[in-house]
């Protein structure tokens, strides 16, 4: 496509380095992501309850460190926080490779979670420092597609390599993940050591103009955080617990078909993301979010049909259709929410803005398995699907509420008569009478 060539040629060198970081690191992450619970349970012999509790430490640690990470980004810059997070990832992955006891595994998974909690606000802030405007929205979309390619390819390679009867194969993939985590550190200390912010200011140490309390007093920030939390609760957060549990226990889909369904999801994201980016350019991001929520509601209806008891073929077809339609919604969500977040943000509080969004994401990821486990554990499959659909409809309402509260520039469209300053700066001007 012509716009892809234009996008690539228009990127600064720093932007191309960021895409290289994404490709390498997600490839390393894909080597282990689908297999950690299997590793803990079948290779290290941990009880299923212990293994599940250990897995939850990643999300809990990530959630706990998100807010401090945003403040550190604003105070000391993105590179310092990212390097600290990557260091934790290297140590955590290396430690997990040799974790023969639950306490060692717990420390390793906490370190990995600390990196995830720090990386989301810091990396999004770094992207915003390198690209602006519509290019930024496209960058977030390409970022998401590359993540799926890396994780998908890594998962295939890992699946072909690891063997529960040969523990050394798991040790190897975790060490490979640690090695992949070293690559971003090298790039951050080398080609990206002089990255500067959009206003031309160095992203080094500086005081932040706005604290979390002041930022959260802004209605657009609260609505966007609520939208992110709900989107994860009815979306991504269901992929590790709710969807596979429903597919197996309610719809009776085979494990091999579930694996194919997840591959379909990844393939659809990779195939659709670039065309979608071209179509949504210049359109209101909130309207794109509404289309996303509508597509997700339709996807949940398809999954509900899979559990209708009409046979294995219908169940499998419903699951595959769910994954394909859901992937379309993902390609709409990923470019828009981070772009709105960073267009609302001021330069010297950008880390905090991204941290609020990351905390909402992590909160949804923690709540989603609990909701799925409660409803499916009580054999309330219909209520589970119904709640997910209601959540999607709530997303539509939230997007409309957000649209009424953000400036046109943050919504992906220009306003006649001049540029739009970030929402926080508008409110400060009204307060001071400027």
What confidence score (pLDDT) does residue 203 get? Answer: 44
Per-residue three-class SS string for the chain: CHHHHHHHHHCCHHHHHHHHHHHHHHHHHHHHHHHHHHHHHHHCCCCHHHHHHHHHHHHHHHHHHHHHHHHHHHHHCHHHHHHHHHHHHHHHHHHHHCCCCHHHHHHHHHHHHHHHHHHHHHHHHHHHHHCCHHHHHHHHHHHHHHHHHHHHHHHHHHHHHCECCEHHHHHHHHHHHHHHHHHHHHHHHCCCCCCECCCCCECCCCCCCCCHHHHHCCHHHHHHHHHHHHHHHCCHHHCCCHHHHHHHHHCCCCHHHHHHHHHHHHHHHHHHHHHHHHHHCCCCHHHHHHHHHHHHHHHHHHHHHHCCCCCHHHHHHHHHHHHHHHHHHHHHHHHHHHHHHHHHCCHHHHHHHHHHHHHHHHHHHHHHHHHHHHHHHCCCHHHHHHHHHHHHHHHHHHHHHHHCCCCHHHHCCCCCCCCCCCHHHHHHHHHHCC
What are the structural domain ranges in the chain? 12-192, 211-412
**What pLDDT sits at residue 270?**
83
Kindly indicate whether the domain formed by 211-412 is annotated with CATH number 1.20.1250.20.
yes
pLDDT, averaged per 10 consecutive residues of the chain (434 residues), comes to 64 81 84 79 83 82 90 86 93 94 94 90 83 75 79 79 88 94 89 57 50 91 95 86 81 78 85 84 90 96 89 90 93 87 85 90 85 86 95 96 91 58 44 36
The pTM assigned to this predicted structure is 0.78
CATH 3.40.50.2000 applies to domain 12-192: no
Check residue 200 and give its pLDDT. 38
Same fold, 12-192 and 211-412: yes
């Amino acid at each position: 496509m012509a716009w892809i060539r234009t996008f690539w040629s228009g990127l600064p060198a720093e932007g191309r380095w960021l895409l290289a970081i994404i490709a390498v690191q997600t490839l390393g992450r894909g080597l282990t992501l689908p297999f950690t619970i299997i590793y803990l349970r079948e290779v290290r012999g941990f009880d299923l309850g212990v293994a599940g509790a250990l897995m939850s430490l990643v999300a809990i640690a990530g959630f706990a460190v998100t807010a401090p990470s945003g403040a550190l980004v604003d105070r000391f810059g993105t590179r310092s926080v990212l390097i600290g997070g990557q260091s934790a990832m290297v140590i955590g992955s290396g430690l997990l490779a040799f974790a023969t006891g639950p306490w060692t595994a717990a420390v390793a998974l906490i370190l990995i979670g600390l990196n995830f909690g720090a990386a989301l606000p810091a990396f999004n802030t770094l992207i915003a420092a390198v690209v602006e405007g519509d290019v930024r929205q496209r960058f977030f979309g390409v970022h998401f597609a590359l993540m799926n390619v890396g994780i998908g390819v890594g998962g295939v390679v890992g699946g072909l390599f690891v063997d529960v009867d040969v523990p050394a194969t798991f040790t190897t993939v975790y060490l490979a993940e640690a090695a992949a985590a070293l690559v971003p550190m090298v790039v951050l200390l080398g080609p990206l050591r002089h990255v500067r912010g959009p206003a031309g200011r160095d992203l080094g140490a500086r005081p932040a103009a706005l604290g979390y309390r002041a930022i959260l007093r802004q209605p657009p920030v609260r609505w966007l955080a609520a939208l992110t939390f709900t989107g994860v609760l009815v979306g991504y957060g269901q992929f590790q617990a709710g969807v596979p549990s429903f597919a197996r226990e309610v719809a009776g889909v085979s494990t091999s078909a579930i694996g194919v369904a997840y591959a379909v999801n990844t393939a659809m994201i990779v195939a659709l993301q670039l065309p979608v980016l071209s179509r949504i350019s210049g359109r209101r991001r909130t309207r794109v979010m509404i289309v996303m929520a509508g597509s997700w509601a339709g996807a949940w209806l398809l999954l509900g049909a899979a559990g209708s008891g009409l046979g294995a073929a219908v169940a499998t077809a419903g699951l595959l259709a769910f994954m394909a339609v859901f992937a379309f919604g993902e390609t709409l969500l990923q470019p828009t929410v981070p772009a709105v977040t960073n267009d609302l943000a001021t330069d010297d509080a950008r880390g905090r803005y991204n941290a609020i969004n990351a905390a909402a994401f992590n909160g949804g990821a923690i709540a989603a398995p609990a909701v799925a486990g409660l409803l499916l554990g009580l054999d309330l499959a219909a209520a589970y699907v119904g709640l997910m659909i209601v959540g999607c409809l709530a997303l539509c309402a939230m997007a409309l509420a957000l649209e009424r509260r953000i400036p046109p520039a943050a919504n992906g469209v220009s306003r006649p008569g001049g540029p739009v300053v970030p929402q926080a700066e508008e409110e400060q001007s009204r307060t001071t009478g400027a």
